[in-house]
C-alpha cells in the first residue's frame, strides 16, 4: 500500500513525489510517456529555452558581433545540429529524474494512470498490461494540452502546436502564428532569428493578453517589430486550409475578411487542463466549466484523499508554480505549515529582450483602488548593459504609497528573468522599496538597475 500515488511526472508531479519521499512517504509516480518530466522537460520550457539560446547566439553572431569589432565573413546555420543539441539537453535532464527517483526511493511507473476509486490507481502500459496500485492518497498532476481552434485542425506538418514547432526540419520561409502569447512570441522569435518571416495574428488589441503590465507589452511589441516580427492585432482567425503544401489562413480584421499564406501555421492560443480518461467519474469528481479541477488552499479536491496541483487546477500555467504547489501540497499532508503566495510568483517571457514580472500590474492596482508610487530606471543608463551592447528596456517598481511595501515589479531588458528573482524574494518578504534601495548591488552588474528603480520610488535615482 502506497502513502501517495502521483499521476503525472511534470514539474508538479515529479517534485511532489520527491518531496513526499523525503518526508518518509511511500510514493509512486505514474507517467504515460516513456520519459519523466512532463510538458516542461520534454516539449516545453527546456527544449524551447535551448532553441531560444541557440537562435539568439546565431542572430547575435550574424547581426551584432561586428559591433564588438569581431568580423566573420559568413555565419551559417546547421539546423540539424541545433535541434540535436536541444534534444541532448532534454534527454540529459529527463534521465536526471530517473536518477532522482532512485536516489529518493520513488517508484516510477510508465503507463496510463486511471483512478478506479479513492484508494486504487490502475496503470496500463503500451502493451495493454495493467498493474494495480493501492494507495492512501492520490495526487493528480496531469497538466495541460494545447487548445485547438475550430476550423484550424492540427496536421502536425503544416498546421502545428508548440511541440511540432520545436522540430521543424527546415526554417520556414514564412511562419504565421495565431496568438501573441508566450508561445507565439518565444517560438516566433526562434524561427524569426533563424531567418523566417514571422506574422503574428492576435485577437486582442495588445500582445501578451493582459498577462504583463501594459507598458511592458507595448515596449515589447515595438522591439519585436524592430526585429522584423509583424503583428496583426484585433485579428479573428476563422479557418485555415492546406493547399499544395501552403497554409491559407482566413481572418477578420478591420471589418474585412482577409487571407494570409504561409509555409507553417503555429497555433498558440492557450492550453487546456488535461483529464482525459483519468477516471474522475469513478470517484464522482467534477471539473469546472473550463475543465479545471477545483481545489482549496491545501490542494484538496472535493473528494477526500484526492489532491490536484499544476496546470490542471485554475491559475497561471507555470512550471515553477506547479513545483511550488506540489511541495506545499505534500507538506500539508504531513502537517507542515505552508502556503503559496500567488502575489510573489515571477512570470518570465524568454524572448530578447526578456520580459519579467512579479506581483501586481499598474492596471490591477488601479482597479483595486490601491494608491502606489512608481520607480523606473532604463537599461541605457546601466554601465553593464552598455558594455553588453544590450540597452533596450527598463525596470519598474510599484510600491504602496503609505507603507512603501513593494506590490509589483516589471522588467523588460537583458536577463530580466534572472533580475526578477530579487524582486520576487522582496515580495515574499514584504520588503519595502527602501530595503532594496539600501542594499548593496555589485558594480557593474545589470542588478544595479533594480536598486536604481527602487531609489526612484523615492525620487532619488543616482545615475540618471
Cβ atoms of 305 and 140 closer than 8 Å: no
- CA–CA distance, 309 with 313 (Å, rounded to integer): 6
Q: Which listed residue (195, 209, 239, 305) binds ligand NAI by CB under 6 A? A: 209
Site mask for ligand NAI (CB under 6 A), range 183-202, x = bound = xx-x--------------xx
Distance of CA 380 to the CA centre of its chain: 27
Distance CA 283, CA 409 (A): 42
CA–CA distance, 213 with 420 (Å, rounded to integer): 14
Report which residue's Cβ sits closest to ligand NAI.
181
- The site that binds ligand NAI (CB under 6 A) totals a number of residues, namely 25
Is 31 a binder of ligand FAD (CB under 6 A)? yes
Q: Is residue 232 a contact partner of residue 367, using CB atoms and an 8 Å limit? A: no
Given candidates 65, 154, 203, 274, which one binds ligand FAD under the rule CB under 6 A? 274
Residue 447 CA to residue 219 CA, distance in Å, equals 20
Q: Using the rule CB under 6 A, give the single segment among 7-15, 79-87, 291-299, 368-376 that binds ligand FAD.
A: 7-15
Strands 144-146 and 256-262: unpaired
Among 133, 278, 355, 407, binds ligand FAD (CB under 6 A): 278
Measuring CA to CA, which residue among 143, 112, 114 is closest to residue 125? 112
Task: Name the phi and psi angles at 118, rounded to 5.
Answer: -60, -20
As measured in angstroms, the least distance from the Cβ of 187 to ligand FAD is: 7
Q: Per-residue contact track with ligand FAD, 350 to 369, x per CB under 6 A?
A: x-------------------
Of 62, 232, 242, 270, which one interacts with ligand NAI (CB under 6 A)?
270
Contact present, 398 and 407 (Cβ < 8 Å): yes
Catalytically annotated residues: 443
Among 28, 38, 119, 189, binds ligand FAD (CB under 6 A): 38
Judged by CB under 6 A, the residue of 181, 184, 310, 408 near ligand FAD is: 310
Nearest to 135, CA basis, from 112, 117, 110, 109: 117
Distance in Å, CB of 239 to ligand FAD, minimum: 24
Q: Which of residues 125-154 bind ligand FAD (CB under 6 A)?
A: 141-144
Cβ-count burial of 399 within 10 angstroms (0-12 exposed, 13-18 middle, 19+ buried)?
buried
Cell numbers at 117, concatenated: 476509486
Binding site for ligand FAD (CB under 6 A): 7-13, 30-33, 38-40, 44-45, 48-49, 112-113, 141-144, 162, 183, 274, 278, 310-311, 317-320, 322, 350
Binding site for ligand NAI (CB under 6 A): 149, 178-184, 186, 201-204, 209, 237, 268-271, 316-318, 348-350
Amino acid at each position: 500500500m502506497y502513502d501517495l500515488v502521483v499521476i503525472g511526472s511534470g514539474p508538479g508531479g515529479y517534485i511532489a513525489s520527491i518531496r513526499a519521499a523525503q518526508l518518509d512517504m511511500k510514493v509512486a509516480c505514474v507517467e504515460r510517456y516513456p520519459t519523466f518530466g512532463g510538458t516542461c522537460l520534454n516539449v516545453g520550457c527546456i527544449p524551447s529555452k535551448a532553441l531560444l539560446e541557440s537562435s539568439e547566439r546565431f542572430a547575435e553572431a550574424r547581426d551584432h558581433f561586428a559591433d564588438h569589432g569581431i568580423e566573420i565573413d559568413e555565419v551559417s546555420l546547421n539546423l540539424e545540429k541545433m535541434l540535436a543539441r536541444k534534444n541532448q539537453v532534454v534527454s540529459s535532464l529527463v534521465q536526471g529524474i530517473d536518477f532522482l527517483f532512485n536516489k529518493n526511493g520513488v517508484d516510477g511507473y510508465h503507463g496510463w494512470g486511471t483512478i478506479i476509486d479513492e484508494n486504487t490507481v490502475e496503470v496500463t502500459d503500451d502493451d495493454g498490461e495493467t498493474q494495480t496500485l493501492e494507495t492512501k492518497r492520490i495526487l493528480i498532476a496531469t497538466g495541460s494540452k494545447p487548445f485547438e481552434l475550430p476550423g484550424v485542425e492540427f496536421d502536425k506538418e503544416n498546421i502545428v502546436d508548440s511541440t511540432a514547432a520545436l522540430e521543424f526540419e527546415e526554417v520556414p520561409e514564412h511562419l504565421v502564428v495565431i496568438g501573441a502569447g508566450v508561445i507565439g512570441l518565444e517560438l516566433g522569435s526562434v524561427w524569426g532569428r533563424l531567418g523566417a518571416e514571422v506574422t503574428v495574428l492576435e485577437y486582442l488589441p495588445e500582445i501578451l493578453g493582459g498577462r504583463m503590465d501594459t507598458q511592458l507589452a507595448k515596449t515589447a511589441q515595438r522591439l519585436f517589430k524592430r526585429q522584423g516580427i509583424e503583428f496583426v492585432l484585433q485579428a479573428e482567425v476563422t479557418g485555415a486550409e492546406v493547399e499544395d503544401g501552403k497554409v491559407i489562413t482566413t481572418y477578420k480584421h478591420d471589418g474585412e475578411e482577409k487571407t494570409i499564406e504561409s509555409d507553417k501555421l503555429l497555433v498558440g492560443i492557450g492550453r487546456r487542463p488535461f483529464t482525459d480518461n483519468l477516471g474522475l467519474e469513478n470517484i464522482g469528481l467534477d471539473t469546472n466549466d473550463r475543465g479545471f479541477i477545483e481545489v482549496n488552499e491545501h490542494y484538496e479536491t472535493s473528494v477526500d484523499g484526492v489532491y490536484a496541483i499544476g496546470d490542471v487546477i485554475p491559475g497561471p500555467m507555470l512550471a515553477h508554480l506547479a513545483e511550488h504547489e506540489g511541495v506545499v501540497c505534500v507538506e500539508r499532508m504531513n502537517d507542515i505549515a505552508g502556503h503559496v503566495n500567488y502575489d510573489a510568483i515571477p512570470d518570465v517571457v524568454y524572448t530578447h529582450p526578456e520580459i519579467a514580472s512579479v506581483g501586481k500590474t499598474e492596471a490591477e492596482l488601479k482597479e483595486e483602488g490601491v494608491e502606489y508610487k512608481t520607480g523606473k530606471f532604463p537599461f541605457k543608463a546601466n554601465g553593464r548593459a552598455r558594455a553588453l551592447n544590450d540597452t533596450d528596456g527598463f525596470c519598474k517598481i510599484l510600491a504602496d504609497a503609505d507603507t512603501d511595501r513593494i506590490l509589483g515589479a516589471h522588467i523588460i531588458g537583458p536577463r530580466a528573468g534572472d533580475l526578477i528573482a530579487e524582486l520576487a524574494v522582496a515580495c515574499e518578504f514584504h520588503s519595502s522599496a527602501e530595503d532594496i534601495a539600501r542594499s548593496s548591488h555589485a558594480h557593474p552588474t545589470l542588478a544595479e538597475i533594480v536598486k536604481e528603480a527602487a531609489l526612484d520610488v523615492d525620487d532619488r535615482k543616482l545615475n540618471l
